[in-house]
Structure 1
């Protein structure tokens, strides 16, 4: 699981980012001032840092100097949106720059693109007797390739990345299909049934009453 440090003094914004990235399967830690951010950077390892510029104690530009020797990718998140300020941030070594207010979806997309560029996205996932190759989008069960449709593959990845977590039908549908869930569960339910059958995973993919589904490890 990729670890992301969020250094942002506006706690509401930091926590909003954390909630949404955690829902995407990332492990997130928040620091609400530059000094706390520096402490985390010194003591722990992260795959990505989301960094505000205007911070108490130590500002984002100074914190970037802490990060440079580590080679950890950084996205500046700031209200300072002029072209000159963006150029300054990028010249100092930030990998990307997003201006407040922003859409959380855009931030997640940029974070994922940056993690891929640095080779920090998990290339393979495994669960029970199945191996998932995220690059070739292939699935093998006990070494034998299993043919899945695009949506079946995406649904499988979502379940595996959130194993032992009860996932709501609306969240699963919106994540995999990229559309607003309108209350009709037939499409999702039929894809779940096909996954169970193709992988012989009746004992792993559990139906959670009035919620959705959970991929459950055997005890």
Structure 2
């Protein structure tokens, strides 16, 4: 995969985005101004750009036009109250938007969704001795295929894409069962138990008391 370009004039926000995406297995590049971003877009190819709208130099709207010409998908980063900015960005061709402040899990989910729609999703995901192929919806342990239910597969994919990040139970449930599903902690816990058994992961998926679960990073 090619890198994801993060364009924001606030260094702490760029650092948070970069840390979150790199933990999920992506590589990143950064720019603090519109001019710096334009130079990097001209010199490099990116799978996705995360653009703040208000930037020194060319703003996010101008960069959007440039990125569309090279067929790079764009997610806008906007202030929570800037509804007009979000609407304008979508009308101009942005693929999605994320409001500040944002949850790391939401950021990863939206990035994954846009990359899938654009045919630029990551290849295989791996942890310990397990490999998951999202496109083929296949999981192997060593050289042995594992038979997971659709929910178990989706749950494992979320854990792999957020490896090392503690995920709240409610977030996991929403990501796997959907926004409209009524939250059921017992159902989630049961699926985690079954997943541990099928994968042979007794300690790799760790329970975080009163919070949720985390897939350990290992060595």
Q: What range describes the TM-score normalised by the shorter chain of this pair?
A: 0.5 to 0.7
Q: Give CA-to-partner distance per residue, 1:40-86, whole Å, 9 cap, x none.
A: 546776321244677542245653576478x451337573968xx95
| Distance (whole Å) between structure 1 residues aligned to residue 159 and residue 193 of structure 2 | 13
What does residue range 16-165 of structure 1 map to in structure 2 within 5 Å? 25=24, 33-38=33-38, 41=41, 46-51=46-51, 56-60=56-60, 62-63=62-63, 67=67, 71=70, 73-75=72-74, 77=76, 79=85, 86=91, 89=92, 96=94, 112=112, 114-116=114-116, 118-165=118-165
SS at match of 1:214: strand
Check conservation: 1:79, 1:99, Cα contact below 8 A. no
Check conservation: 1:3, 1:47, Cα contact below 8 A. yes
**C-alpha deviation, 1:178, in angstroms:** 1.2
| Distance (whole Å) between structure 1 residues aligned to residue 181 and residue 86 of structure 2 | 36
| Distance (whole Å) between structure 2 residues aligned to residue 185 and residue 36 of structure 1 | 46
Check conservation: 1:125, 1:133, Cα contact below 8 A. yes
Does residue 189 in structure 1 map to residue 195 in structure 2?
no
Query: Which stretch has the larger CA shift, 178-187 or 119-128?
Result: 178-187
Indicate how the Cα distance of structure 1 residues 214 and 59 shifts in structure 2: closer, same or farther if over 3 A, else same.
closer
Higher relative contact order (CA 8 A, sep 6+): 2
| Distance (whole Å) between structure 2 residues aligned to residue 36 and residue 193 of structure 1 | 48
| Distance (whole Å) between structure 1 residues aligned to residue 62 and residue 181 of structure 2 | 44
TM (norm. structure 2) is 0.66
* Alignment gaps of 5+ in structure 1: 91-95
| Distance (whole Å) between structure 1 residues aligned to residue 188 and residue 149 of structure 2 | 13
Check conservation: 1:47, 1:72, Cα contact below 8 A. no
**C-alpha deviation, 1:164, in angstroms:** 1.9
CA RMSD of aligned residues (A): 4.5
Q: Give CA-to-partner distance per residue, 1:113-152, whole Å, 9 cap, x none.
A: 5523554211311111111110121111111111111110
Query: Which stretch has the larger CA shift, 60-69 or 134-143?
Result: 60-69
| Distance (whole Å) between structure 2 residues aligned to residue 122 and residue 76 of structure 1 | 17
| Distance (whole Å) between structure 1 residues aligned to residue 130 and residue 36 of structure 2 | 41
Larger Rg: 1
Check conservation: 1:2, 1:120, Cα contact below 8 A. no
SS at match of 2:131: strand
* Alignment gaps of 5+ in structure 2: 77-83
